[in-house]
Structure 1
């Protein structure tokens, strides 16, 4: 089973969210399907089911490896580099 090699480098505590919604979706007048929180910098972006896929774009631009769900009642994390749940 593949494991994430980036989780040990995450800041503790988690960074504070920079927004409560995806700013790119908000600026475009669209609505995100679900939100993700970057665990390196606090960026909040929309999921890959949303038209903008801004969380993935943030990873591609920043290289920040792990995002977690920003949805109430959920607590999973995803490593973009290793393609695994953390």
Structure 2
């Protein structure tokens, strides 16, 4: 039996391959973060809209995991701690390998670096 951690649901798949709000509004992101409780995919705090943190602020879901290929770390918003590993969440574990960073293709402005936080 695996240990259950409050705020992490290992059975919930990610909401998609990109930031939910950026995709809905035609925006773009630098890196993606996955809510470990509900699967919401949001953009990182370097991104213009910081939807990953905004998701925590509106829901209270405490843990995110990187949704970047090859990264498995978690972050706890409540205690501001990072963890190099944790329970394995439902697949997929990252955005598609052919999705560029920043992304998505076709929506990133030429001067994207001037928009970073």
* Fold in common (TM above 0.5): yes
Partner residue of 1:21 out of 12, 18, 21: 18
May I ask how many residue pairs the two structures share in their alignment? 79
Structure 1 stretches lacking a partner, 5+ long: 1-6
TM-score by length of 1: 0.84
Which deviates the most, 61-70 or 13-22?
13-22
Which residue, 5, 8, 17 being the options, matches 1:8?
Answer: 5
Report the Cα distance in structure 1 between the residues aligned to 2:11 and 2:78, rounded to whole angstroms. Answer: 19
TM-score by length of 2: 0.63
How far residue 8 of structure 1 moved from its aligned partner, in angstroms, is: 2.3
In the TM superposition, 1:33-48 aligns within 5 A as 33-48=30-45
**Deviation string for 1:13-51 (max 9, x for gaps)?**
242001110121123322110000000000000000000
More helix by share: 1
Instruction: Tell me how large the CA RMSD over aligned residues is.
Output: 1.4
Residue 67 of structure 1 pairs with residue 64 of structure 2 = yes
The structure having more radius of gyration, on CA atoms, is 2
